[in-house]
């Protein structure tokens, strides 16, 4: 009987790969298979291989581990490709934050939208499109699971490039739903909800417990400072636009023109860390990456326990549903082929999907409340332009995308956006060879 082969592209992001391998090894009854690890950084690939071997040993399952710096050596026979690549991130993370800030565009994360997110897409997209083309050529029966940001842009680019099943996976829906149960002080299992939109901008349009609408209770909880201070931006959005959104306060504040366009607004609504701290990602990500690698080395030396608890990531749920014929519900980033009525058809949306032995099927959601759909559509236009820029290798189209970015447009004039784009392009040109 064939066993599943799961290929990790960008496996050198070893903490992430470690968790997904842990999740897959925790699937009851899926006792054998192949992990194929790929990374162009040999030292980080070796770290991923060693922790993979250790995980298999600890779980006493019959999974084999392969590793290569050349994906062509291991893609054949792959059933699932899991993408977590990072392209020239360390080299450019300061440019992504520092240059926009000089123009008044203050980012907290800046890896998914805004100037930082758009340029990350321009750096990452060409390599990603080469990867999916190789998957189509060498593993034509594979399913592609993308975890790399910018999620919507890269997932949509892959959908446009290859005729294979592609789904983008994030943890914001399942994470936020659990946060909401905590804010409401109710057991998570007792909460019923609907959620749809786009990645990092999906909306909980229904929150119920035994048929009772929970939104009046949630709006009342906002008056408790201990609750409000945990999520200021998202609570403000809920109060004024009618629904709770899936991404953290700090990251979501970059998606809309309301909270970061003036220093006084940043001071009023931003808090430390993921709640909106200026430059939080740029100032900390290089250290986080180093510390994550050191943590895995400590696990391998036996100085730190190797966690074996399954997470809430959807990757293993998809594999379990297909391989073990156990139906699962996930929220995936997929082609909008009639799922959300008032978002552009052919764009990338985040909606509930049902997964079973036949694959991933998108559930129809219907229309979003118009004020929420309008915010989503603004970003889908940016996504469309960046994907066009990637497919055509057209820098002018990429500049148009930045012109439409909601936060950048709230802060800068078109002439300033032009100068901002050109300054970032000059600083990051070595990392944009596909556009030469």
CB 213 within 8 A of CB 184: no
> What phi-psi label fits residue 417: left (phi over 0), alpha (psi between -120 and 50 degrees) or beta?
alpha
Place of tokens 């998957």: 135
User: 327-343 burial string, b = 16+ CB within 10 Å, else e?
Assistant: ebebbbbbbbeebbeeb
Going by C-beta distance under 8 Å and a sequence separation of 6 or more, which residues neighbour residue 413?
A: none
Q: How many CA atoms lie within 13 Å of 157's alpha carbon, on the beta-carbon side?
A: 31
Q: Please, which residues bridge with residue 356 across strands?
A: 359
Question: What separation in angstroms does the CA of 194 have from each of 161, 176, 326, 349?
Answer: 31, 12, 22, 14
- Of 116, 118, 146, which is closest to residue 131 (Cα–Cα)? 146
Going by C-beta distance under 8 Å and a sequence separation of 6 or more, which residues neighbour residue 210?
A: 190
How many Å apart are CA 341 and CA 365, to the nearest integer?
8
How many Å apart are CA 222 and CA 250, to the nearest integer?
17
- Tokens (6 digits) for 374: 């309008």
> What phi-psi label fits residue 67: left (phi over 0), alpha (psi between -120 and 50 degrees) or beta?
beta
How many Å apart are CA 231 and CA 185, to the nearest integer?
15
CB 376 within 8 A of CB 223: no
Q: Which of 95, 171, 223, 379 is catalytic?
A: 171
Place of tokens 């930082």: 116
Q: Is 171 a residue of the active site? A: yes
Positions marked active-site:
171
């Amino acid at each position: 009987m064939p066993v599943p082969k799961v290929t990790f592209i960008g496996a050198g992001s070893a903490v992430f790969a470690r968790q997904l391998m842990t999740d897959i090894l925790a699937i009851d009854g899926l006792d054998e298979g192949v992990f194929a690890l790929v990374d162009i950084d040999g030292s980080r690939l070796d770290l991923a291989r060693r922790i993979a071997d250790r995980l298999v040993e600890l779980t006493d399952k019959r999974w084999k581990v392969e590793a290569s710096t050349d994906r062509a050596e291991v893609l054949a026979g792959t059933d699932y490709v899991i993408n977590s690549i990072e392209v020239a991130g360390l080299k450019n993370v300061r440019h992504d934050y520092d240059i926009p800030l000089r123009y008044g565009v203050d980012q907290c994360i800046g890896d998914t939208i805004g100037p930082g997110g758009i340029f990350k897409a321009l750096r990452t997209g060409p390599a990603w499109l080469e990867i999916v083309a190789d998957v189509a050529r060498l593993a034509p029966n594979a399913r592609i699971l993308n975890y790399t940001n910018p999620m919507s842009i890269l997932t949509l680019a892959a959908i446009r490039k290859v005729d294979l099943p592609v789904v983008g996976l994030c943890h914001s829906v399942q994470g936020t739903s659990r946060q909401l149960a905590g804010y409401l002080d109710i057991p998570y299992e007792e909460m019923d909800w609907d959620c749809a939109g786009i990645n990092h901008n999906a909306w909980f349009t229904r929150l119920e417990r035994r048929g009772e609408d929970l939104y009046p209770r949630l709006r009342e909880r906002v008056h408790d400072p201990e609750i409000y201070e945990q999520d200021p931006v998202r609570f403000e959005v809920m109060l004024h636009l009618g629904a709770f959104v899936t991404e953290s306060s700090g990251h979501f504040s970059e998606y809309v023109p309301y909270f970061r366009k003036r220093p006084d607004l940043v001071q009023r609504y931003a808090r430390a860390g993921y709640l909106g701290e200026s430059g939080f990602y740029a100032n900390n990500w290089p250290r986080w990456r180093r510390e994550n690698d050191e943590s895995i080395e400590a696990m391998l030396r036996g100085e730190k326990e190797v966690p074996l608890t399954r997470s809430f990531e959807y990757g293993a749920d998809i594999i379990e549903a297909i391989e073990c014929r156990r139906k699962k519900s996930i929220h995936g980033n997929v082609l909008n082929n009639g799922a959300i009525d008032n978002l552009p058809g052919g764009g990338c949306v985040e909606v509930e999907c049902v997964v079973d032995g036949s694959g991933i099927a998108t559930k129809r959601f219907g229309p979003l409340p118009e004020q929420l759909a309008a915010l989503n559509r603004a970003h889908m236009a940016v996504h469309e332009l960046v994907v066009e820029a990637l497919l055509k290798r057209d820098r002018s189209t990429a500049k148009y995308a930045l012109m439409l970015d909601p936060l950048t447009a709230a802060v800068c004039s078109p002439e300033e956006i032009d100068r901002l784009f050109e300054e970032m392009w000059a600083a990051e040109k070595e990392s944009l060879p596909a556009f030469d």
